[in-house]
Amino acid sequence: MARPRICSHQRDENGSRSSSETLKTALVVWTTSCLIFIPHVFTSTTHLAVISPQDPALLIGSSLTVVCTVSSELGLAASSLYWTLNGRRLAKSTYMVLSPTELSVTLHRLNGSQQQSGDNLVCHGGSGDVLAGSCLYVGMPPEKPVNLSCWSRNTKDLSCRWSPGGHGETFISTKYVLKYKLRWYGKEKECEEYNMGQLHTCYIPRDLAIFTPYEIWVEASNQLGSATSDVIILDILDVVTTDPPPDVHVSRVGELDDQLSVRWASPPALKDFLFQAKYQIRYRLEDSAEWKVVDDVGNQTSCRLAGLKPGTVYFVQVRCNPVGIYGSKKAGIWSDWSHPTAASTPNSELLQSGSCDPKSEEQNATLRRELKQFFGWMRKHTYGCTNVSIKLYDQWRAWLQKAQKTRNQETGSTKR
């Protein structure tokens, strides 16, 4: 008895799914998630039943006629046979008896395969015996992969991701291969470490050159066709990202109730590289999901956040962009954000209590009033992170004196 061909989920040597070449004659018990094969009494290895065409690949919307031919040795009439597709018995109206030993079935306007390893089309004897099987691959050829981008963590490796072209769904197994080579003289290589936990990504862990551009592209193929992405050209130094800044600390600024101080360290993996880092900070209220981003931190590793709410918990994160490694003129790639660090601003009501000296309280009130005026002026004339320096304070004092002089002049004119 010929061994019927049943679609399986095994992979070939190249990682693509394929049907098994041989299976013992079996009765097939179909479930929603797997096939269970029950051995049957037939043991002959001669071809007593065949399906043609075998394992066809078709475009969605195609029609197909398949013929099951049984050996006269079986003593089965073609009219007693029947067909199933993925375990579902097909209507007799789709059958045609071509001869005493041949039964065909015609399928119209085929939909995409229900499983990427192919749909199971099976020819059965009248008692349910599995006589022969075939896999139907119904889908679409791949379109050109798009959005190919790559990045290197600390110049040591290279990760790339891409998106399938078009709608992305081909309905049959489609293989994607990332290829790369040095631009002028390199030998073409294939990326081997595909991240199965994240679709359409590949990782090159070692043996990468710097100061020399690479050509990188993706090839997509299945049984219905193939397509190749555009080639991107990049130098590893132009796509470097790094780990998030470590040792992020957030603390209060004395008794100022609307400020927090943020400090962090440079990424240690880049300590031996010549580069100019840029940093960003973002912060949010404890009970809010909305982050506010501070873009003007520059290359300093500290920042003072102003204009915050008194007596409030804030979460703060920092990220790094290693710009200009070894003179690269590219914009750089931002790292992931650091883990959130929490701190609270002082409660203004608590700060105003606990004083026993009326003079001290009066002086403190005057100081608080002047500081409030100063930081209000500062928020109008600066943005984001600002190092509050004596120079900035002097500028405010000059502005305040000028404003007072103007008011005095206006008052004098009114009295005249």
Domain boundary among 216, 240, 264: 240
70 and 133 in a single domain? The answer is yes
- Given pLDDT bands bounded at 50, 70 and 90, which one contains residue 47? low
pLDDT at 4: 55
62 and 132 in a single domain? The answer is yes
230 and 304 in a single domain? The answer is no
In a domain, 282, yes or no: yes
- Given pLDDT bands bounded at 50, 70 and 90, which one contains residue 392? low
254 and 226 in a single domain? The answer is no
- Residue 355: pLDDT above 90? no
224 and 308 in a single domain? The answer is no
In a domain, 365, yes or no: no
- Given pLDDT bands bounded at 50, 70 and 90, which one contains residue 237? confident
pLDDT at 168: 75
pLDDT at 240: 86
The number of folded domains in the chain is 3
168 and 225 in a single domain? The answer is yes
- Residue 256: pLDDT above 70? yes
188 and 219 in a single domain? The answer is yes
Three-class SS of the chain: CCCCCCCCCCECCCCCECCCCCCCCEEEEECCCCEEEEECCCCCCCCCEEEECCCCEEECCCCEEEEEEECHHHCCCHHHCEEEECCEECCHHHEEEEECCEEEEEECCCCCCCCCCCEEEEEECCCCCEEEEEEEEEECCCCCCEEEEEEEECCCCEEEEEECCCCCCCCCCCEEEEEEEECCCCCCEECCEECCCCCCEEEECCCCCCCCCEEEEEEEEECCEEEECCCEEECHHHHEECCCCCCCEEEECCCCCCCEEEECCCCHHHCCCCCEEEEEEEEEECCCCCCEEEEEEECCCEEEECCCCCCCEEEEEEEEEEECHHHCCCCCCCCCCCCCEEEECCCHHHHCCCCCCHHHHHHHHHHHHHHHHHHHHHHHHCCCCCCCCHHHHHHHHHHHHHHHHHHHHHHHHHHC
In a domain, 91, yes or no: yes
Average pLDDT over residues 118-131: 92
pLDDT at 238: 86
- Residue 407: pLDDT above 80? no
pLDDT at 412: 58
Domain boundary among 139, 165, 199: 139
- Residue 257: pLDDT above 60? yes
**Domain span at residue 134?**
49-139
In a domain, 20, yes or no: no
**CA gap 38, 87 in Å, rounded:** 15
- Residue 124: pLDDT above 70? yes
Domain boundary among 277, 311, 344: 344
Here the CATH number for the domain that contains residue 313 is 2.60.40.10
211 and 258 in a single domain? The answer is no
- Residue 88: pLDDT above 60? yes
Q: Quick check: 46 and 31 in contact, CB under 8 A?
A: no
At 1-32, the pLDDT tens digits run 444 555 654 333 334 333 333 333 333 333 33
In a domain, 320, yes or no: yes
176 and 259 in a single domain? The answer is no
199 and 128 in a single domain? The answer is no
pLDDT at 388: 52
Average pLDDT over residues 339-363: 62
At 169-199, the pLDDT tens digits run 899 999 999 999 998 887 899 998 987 678 8
- Given pLDDT bands bounded at 50, 70 and 90, which one contains residue 143? very high
- Residue 307: pLDDT above 50? yes
**CA gap 53, 49 in Å, rounded:** 13
66 and 82 in a single domain? The answer is yes
At 99-115, the pLDDT tens digits run 999 999 999 999 999 88
250 and 298 in a single domain? The answer is yes
